[in-house]
Chain A
C-alpha cells in the first residue's frame, strides 16, 4: 500500500499530470485558454510517431520471442471480451437502455492511446522496462470491441450489420496507421535510426506530452461541464469501477503471458482505459440512436482523468508487487 501511495504521490506531482490538472481547472473556471485545433492535432501526430518508433526500436534491439504473437492475441481477446463484462456491469449499475449500454461498453473494450503514452512515460521515469511491442498490442485492441458491441445489440434482436466502409475506417484510422507505421519504421531502422532522430523524438517528448495533456485537460473539463447532468450516479461510479475491473483482466493476461513488470502494467492500462477517439466515431455510424453525451462524458470526463491520476500509479505498483519488479 505504501508503494502505491508513494507512486501515486510522485505521479500526481509530475509535470504531465499537473499540466492536465491545469487544463481541467482552466476549463471548469471558464478561462479562454485554448490550444489551437491544428496544434493539438500536430502534437498527437508527434506523440504517436514517437511512441511507435521507440517501440519498434526496442523490438529491433531486444529481438522478439513467442510472447509477441501471444500478446497480440491476448489484446484482441481482451478487447472483444471486456465490452461483454462492461455491458453486464452497466445492466446492474447503469440503468441504461440496451443501445446506450452497448455503446458505452464498446468504449471500455477499446483503448485510450493517450493513457497508454502517459503510462509509458511514467514507466520510463520510474526506470521500469516494458516490451516494445506493446505498441502493436495497443493498436490491435482498438477495433474488436466495436464488433463486440454490435454483437451485444444483435443478441437483443436488433440486428446491426458492420458495413465494409465502417470496418475500413476503423482498421485504417489515422492513429492506427501512424502507430503501426512508425513501429515498423523503428523496427526496420533500429538503434541506428533512433540515433539519427533522437533529438526530435526523445528529448522533446515529455514537454510535448505536457502541452498535449494540458489540451486534454481543457477538453475533459469542457466535457465535464457540458455533460455534468447527463450521467446518473450509477453510471458515474461505473466510470471508475470498470477501469479497475478491466485492469484486473489485463493483469491476469500479462501474468499468464509472463511479460515484464512494465508489460503487465501496460496490459492493465490498456484494459483499464476507454476510447474517446476511434470508438465514438464508429458508434455514431453504427449506433446513431445511442446518446453520445453519455459515452463521451464517461470515457473522456471520468475514466480518462481517473486513469491518468490514480489508475496508472495503482496499476504500476500492483504490477511491480506481483512480478517482483
Chain B
C-alpha cells in the first residue's frame, strides 16, 4: 500500500496550558491534533502522578499532531512560543501516513 512521509509531533504539557497550545497550533495552520491524558511520570521536577491531583493546574496532557514535513518549522515556532516557559517535553519523529491529503 502507498504511504507518505510525515512528521509526528508529541507535546507533553501542563493541562492548564492545553487550550493555549491548541489555539497556537490552530493559528500556526495545524488542522488536527489529539489530546491524551497523562497518568504520571518523572523528570527534573521529580516524580508525578495523576492520582489524587486536586488541581487542574498540576495535571498533564499530551498533544499529538501529524503534519507534512515542510510545515514542521512553522508549527514548532508556534508551539514553542507557548511551551517555552512551562514544564513539558516536545518530541518530533518520522512517521508514515496512508492519506496524505488529511495532513
Contacts and interface: CB of A to CB of B under 8 A. Distances in A.
Q: Interface size for chain B: under 10, 10 to 19, 20 to 34, or 35 or more residues?
A: 20 to 34
Interface stretch (A8-16, A232-240, A292-300, A308-316): A292-300
A280 B17 CA distance: 13
A226 B47 contact: yes
A218 B20 contact: no
A276 B14 contact: no
Nearest to A292: B58
Closest 3 CB pairs of A and B: A281-B57, A280-B57, A280-B55
A296 B86 contact: no
Nearest to A283: B57
Q: Interface size for chain A: under 10, 10 to 19, 20 to 34, or 35 or more residues?
A: 20 to 34
A2 interface: no
Nearest to B86: A288
B47 A276 contact: no
B52 A281 contact: no
Given A216-B54, A300-B54, A293 B86 contact: no
B43 to A, nearest CB: 12
A255 B87 CA distance: 44
Given A34-B51, A288-B86, A226 B57 contact: no
Nearest to B51: A34
B38 to A, nearest CB: 13
B70 to A, nearest CB: 31
14 contacts: A27-B52, A34-B51, A219-B53, A276-B55, A280-B55, A280-B57, A280-B58, A281-B16, A284-B57, A284-B58, A285-B17, A288-B85, A288-B87, A289-B85
A241 interface: no
Interface in A247-283: 276-278, 280-283
B47 A292 contact: no
A165 interface: yes
Contacts of A285: 16-17, 20, 57
Interface in B47-79: 47, 49-58
Given A218-B52, A284-B16, A288-B86, A293 B57 contact: no
B45 interface: yes
A284 B14 contact: yes
B57 A222 contact: no
A67 B45 CA distance: 46
Interface string A201-223: 00000000000000010110010
B41 interface: no
B1 to A, nearest CB: 41
Contacts of B16: 281, 284-285
A296 B20 contact: no
B57 A292 contact: yes
Contacts of A291: 45
Given A277-B56, A284-B17, 18 more contacts: A34-B51, A37-B50, A216-B54, A218-B52, A219-B52, A219-B53, A222-B52, A276-B55, A277-B55, A277-B57, A278-B55, A280-B57, A280-B58, A282-B57, A285-B16, A285-B20, A292-B58, A296-B55
B56 A165 contact: no
